[in-house]
Structure 1
Amino acid sequence: MRSLLLNKYLWSLTLGHFSIDLYAGAMPVVLAALAGSMHLSFEQVGLVSALYTLCSSVSQPFFGYLSDRFGGRSFASIGLVWMSILQGAIGFVPDYQTLLVLAPLAGFGSAAFHPQGASSANIASGERKTAGMAIFLLGGNGGFAVGPLIAGLIIGGMALTGSLVLPGMGTHGTAVIAIFGLLIAPVLFFISRSSATAASAQRLPHAGARVSTNKAFSKFAIIALMLVATLRAWEQSSVSLYVPPFFMSSAAMTLAEASRVSALILGSLALGTFFGGFLSDHVDGRVVMVISFLISAPATIALFTAQGTNTYLAAVVLGISLGSAWPPTLVLAQALFPRHAGIGSGLALGFVFAMGGLGNYVTGFLAERIGLLNSLLVLAALPLLAALFTFALPSHKAVARGAQIARAGADVVSAEPVRS
């Protein structure tokens, strides 16, 4: 534990993860503000979110391959700068068509950062991979949590006292939010360059070897892992996107007030990610996942039906339960490709983001037909299905044994002399 807390490279990656995901956390608030000024429907908002997340996801395996093959230290900083500039410009779009183009382009910054960041965090963590991944994910989820608060404050303003009000900047406040990432990017770059761990983590062992999967995973187990990741991502993404408009319409909250509910969910999710990672180092990750999913279902219903203080309590429980399942899920995905953690990270994170984006569109589509409340209550079924498919996943011991066999085989192949 002490070595992880003193691991400069791991913490620099965590800082970068915080920065890049701050923008993703702010996006639902930005879209809620744009929806009001541009009179967008739930389905239109869902489509923008879907395209944004698809572009930040489908290219992640490609960036993961580049990271494994050549070393991708600069990808993180460049991706953060790219996303900062384009997301800062989103608040100035003149029409819906421009928004449909600019938002997806911004997503490529996230795609460049995540595979290299996650695979390097995996290597930098040594034997404490799930705990190290929990720290890395804590940064991202912390950014998700702070994003709505910052966006709500800058865009919507804040009542300081009964008579003193801090005015918001409207959607043009996205330019101010962009400054944060532009300041962090060079810090991330130079810290990673000066770290001894970074040098050894830039290129994975056997990165040029043929891509093969962990034999502990049957074909059905691979499908089950994809479904678990999809269902969890769908719920988290849709809750994050539609909580602001739901509470603004049903509870007559202001944008800033609804943003605080989002921040509470995402902050609790960050806390759950941290604890879920450390728990999974001591018990089988599947146990953590099943318990987390079973708690998430009733917490989802409570979030959208409870009143007063119970709403905030449900937000905390839902965030912690959803977050706890994520570290063991991601580590399993990385273990699927023992010699290519960048590809595993890219596929896992990219697939999760893509499915979350498509889920947002489905939820918005349903909201236009059965009402927003009913479409959000449907989300409660997703973690129950995820818990069911978790039983098809291999055990932690089987996965570790399969990874050792794969790496040993690669060592034998790489040690063979080249014959002309």
Structure 2
Amino acid sequence: MLKSAGTPRTEGPQLSRPQLILAFAVIGALLLSKFVYIETFKSYYTFFLIERFGMEIRQAQTILFVFLGAVAIGTFFGGPIGDRIGRRRVIWVSIVGALPFALLLPHVNLWGVIALSILVGLILSSAFSAIVVYAQELMPQKVGMVSGFVFGFAFGVGALGAAALGGIADLVGMQQVFNALSLLLFLGFLTALLPDIE
């Protein structure tokens, strides 16, 4: 008998429907915290530097480029690290580990801001690969649907959140938005609710 084409059926973790709903709700909250933070940072970092330090646009954009490079490197290495130490651990370290640096960032001098933004970019971006694979492992028989949810929700909520915070920045100032932005990363503690499927 010929097997039908498509994704092979893989036995996934034995989780109940409520456990799966909770796990995906937590994943959604983690994606919200990570992508709203990063998209807001990418969109308004130059304005923050100009407002806070009186920098020229070219200088501020150069520092933004350094941050984006850190994000790219963190994303690249997040997957292999997750394979080595476990994806749930990477999610923990990535979002919660970036929190102290993100809280401190708006209150230090220029060189401190640059150094902390690199650390935040490296650490926070390493979670994405781990979140995608972890979500796929929850429902390995529906990898396409899960991947679509993760990617679609991540980039959609990031863009909407950045736009909303940009509107708030028009009212209260970019400095105040960056002061409050790091509070999103407290959602990383919800990782404790994710089932250990590894």
Please state which band the TM-score falls in when normalised by the shorter chain. 0.7 to 0.9
- Deviating above 3 A after TM superposition, structure 1's stretches of 4 or more consecutive aligned residues are 213-217
What is aligned with 2:63? 261
Deviation at 1:358, TM superposition (A): 1.6
Identity across matched positions, percent: 25
Q: 1:377 to 1:215 in 2, by over 3 A?
A: farther
Deviations 1:358-387 (A, max 9, x none): 2112212321232211111211111121x2
Does residue 353 of the first structure (1) align with residue 155 of the second (2)? yes
Q: Deviations over 1:94-128 (max 9, x none)?
A: xxxxxxxxxxxxxxxxxxxxxxxxxxxxxxxxxxx
Does structure 1 conserve the Cα–Cα contact (< 8 Å) formed by 2:81 and 2:90? yes
The 2-side partners of 1:314 and 1:264 are apart by 11
- TM-score for both structures, normalised by structure 1: 0.42
Deviation, 1:264, is 1.4
RMSD of aligned residue pairs (Cα, Å): 2.1
> 2-side partners of 1:221 and 1:343: how far apart?
15
- For residue 247 of structure 1, the aligned residue among 25, 33, 49 is 49
Alignment of 1:4-403 (within 5 A): 204-205=6-7, 215-216=14-15, 217-385=19-187, 387-397=188-198
Displacement of 1:214 after TM fit? 6.2
User: Unaligned stretches of 5+ in structure 2?
Assistant: none
Q: How far 1:247 moved relative to its partner? A: 1.3
Contact 1:261 1:315 in 2 (8 A): no
Check whether the contact 2:105–2:117 (CA below 8 A) recurs between aligned residues: yes
Can you list the C-alpha shifts for 1:119-169, whole angstroms capped at 9, x where unaligned?
Answer: xxxxxxxxxxxxxxxxxxxxxxxxxxxxxxxxxxxxxxxxxxxxxxxxxxx
User: Structure 1, unaligned stretches of length 5 or more?
Assistant: 1-202, 398-420
Rounded to whole Å, the distance in 1 between the matches of 2:105 and 2:89 is 24
Deviation (angstroms), 1:230: 1.3
Task: Identify which range, 344-353 or 289-298, moves more after superposition.
Answer: 289-298
Provide the C-alpha distance between the structure 1 equivalents of 2:183 and 2:69, rounded to a whole number of angstroms. 23
1:302-324 deviation digits (Å, cap 9, x = unpaired): 33322132221111111111112
Question: How many residues are paired up?
Answer: 189
CA distance in 2, matches of 1:222, 1:262: 32
Letter in 2 for 1:359: G
Counterpart CA distance in 1 for 2:6 and 2:179 is 43
Q: Which has the higher helix share?
A: 2
